Amino acid sequence: MPEHKQTIPVVAGALMRPDGQFMLGSRPAGKPYPGYWEFPGGKVEAGETPLAALVREFQEEMGITVTHATPWLRRVHHYEHASVELLFYRIWAWQGEPQPHEGQAFAWQQPGHLSVKPMLPANDPILRSLQLPDVLNLTCIAETGRDALLDKLAQHQDAPWVIVREPQKNREQLAALVGEISEIIHPRGGKLIVNADPAWLKGWPVDGVQLNSQRLAACEARPHFAWVGASCHSRTELDRAAALGLDYALLGHVQATASHPGQAALGWDGLAACLAPAAPLPVFALGGLRTANLDAARQAGAHGVAQMRGAWQ
């Protein structure tokens, strides 16, 4: 690859339907990778902001007026024909119906169950990120008590993702709790992630591991679990988590929280500044937040929110 080759800025967007499906388009004949499936979008023109480019591309390629989009993920990929810096947005509201202005095909897709192929090679992690939920629920049994927590989980209508974070418990106590939570949430399709030494979790009914800052700093290769997240407090830590190929990060704390009394909060502007122009991996905003803060978190560039006390009240 010639050294002088520039990186081309590109924006792309996932139209998000309320039922959770998102749209892919096929690349037209005459462009690199014809027939491959992608998120609609294209190159940012000189002097254009990324959001303006997204709005223009959706208008040009499919006659849609984007009315609400939030920044989501940034990814650099090296193709044989060019290196691209991709900024992915999620588009929550638009006017018009997709029209194939360039002869493309469109397909609504369910996260984790794609019905079309092949995909542009840069997009695999992006497609996987769409399987993550809007909300992660962190345990804090010292405050909620075990029974209240299990009751609350049993009442869930949907498939909750739970992160067990109980640093005061020993291995046996943690194993017992994980077994109890698994019995409740796994039959309804929930996921169970544990914040602990990955070596402890062998043979446990878990879907993943959550690395604290210390374990993230010491981690040399992605642990072998379906889902691996990290607890981060800075862009440097986010970049490290992304470089290790982790699936998501928690970033906080956004608002003042009882978990970290006296420590300065990032605030929404601080969160947005940390994630600009888009996060290197999906980020769940953390710290004094609950489901009601989802829109604000997305606006700041987060994938979703992680709630602790809010989950169990």
Ligand X SMILES: Nc1nc2c([nH]c(=O)n2[C@@H]2O[C@H](COP(=O)(O)OP(=O)(O)OP(=O)(O)O)[C@@H](O)[C@H]2O)c(=O)[nH]1
For Mg ion, the binding residues (CB under 5 A) are 42
178 binds, among ligand X, Mg ion, none (CB under 5 to 8 A by kind): none
Asked if residue 16 binds ligand X (CB under 6 A), the reply is no
Cβ pair 112, 23 in contact under 8 A: no
Strand arrangement, sheet containing 106-109: 37-38, 22-26, 106-109
Q: Omega into 277 within 30° of 0, i.e. cis?
A: yes
Backbone angles phi and psi of 52, in degrees to 5: -65, -40
Q: Omega into 81 within 30° of 0, i.e. cis?
A: no
Asked if residue 84 binds ligand X (CB under 6 A), the reply is yes
Q: Which long-range contacts (CB under 8 A, 24 or more apart) does 146-149 make?
A: 146/177, 146/180, 148/312, 149/312
Q: Which of 16, 69, 86, 274 binds ligand X (CB under 6 A)?
A: 86
109 binds, among Mg ion, ligand X, none (CB under 5 to 8 A by kind): none
Asked if residue 123 binds ligand X (CB under 6 A), the reply is yes
Q: Which of 9, 21, 33, 116 binds ligand X (CB under 6 A)?
A: 33
CB 49, min distance to Mg ion, A = 17
The radius of gyration computed from the CA coordinates of the chain, to the nearest angstrom, equals 20
Considering the complex, state which of residue 14 and residue 209 has its C-beta at the smaller distance from ligand X: 14
CB 264, min distance to ligand X, A = 37
Considering the complex, state which of residue 23 and residue 181 has its C-beta at the smaller distance from Mg ion: 23
Q: What are residue 210's DSSP bridge partners?
A: 195, 229
32 binds, among Mg ion, ligand X, none (CB under 5 to 8 A by kind): ligand X
Asked if residue 192 binds ligand X (CB under 6 A), the reply is no
| Interacting span for ligand X (CB under 6 A) from 75-83, 128-136, 201-209, 296-304 | 75-83
CB 243, min distance to ligand X, A = 19
Considering the complex, state which of residue 84 and residue 249 has its C-beta at the smaller distance from ligand X: 84
Asked if residue 265 binds ligand X (CB under 6 A), the reply is no
Q: What distance in Å separates the CA atoms of residue 309 and residue 148, rounded to the nearest whole number?
A: 12
Beta strands in the chain (DSSP E): 7-15, 22-26, 37-38, 41-43, 65-78, 83-95, 106-109, 135-138, 161-164, 191-195, 208-211, 227-232, 248-252, 283-286, 304-307
84 binds, among Mg ion, ligand X, none (CB under 5 to 8 A by kind): ligand X
**Which residues fall within 8 angstroms of residue 81, CB to CB, at 6 or more apart?**
32
Which residue minimizes CB distance to ligand X? 42
Asked if residue 32 binds ligand X (CB under 6 A), the reply is yes
Residue ranges in contact with ligand X by CB under 6 A:
10, 12, 31-33, 38-39, 41-43, 77, 79, 82, 84, 86, 120, 122-123
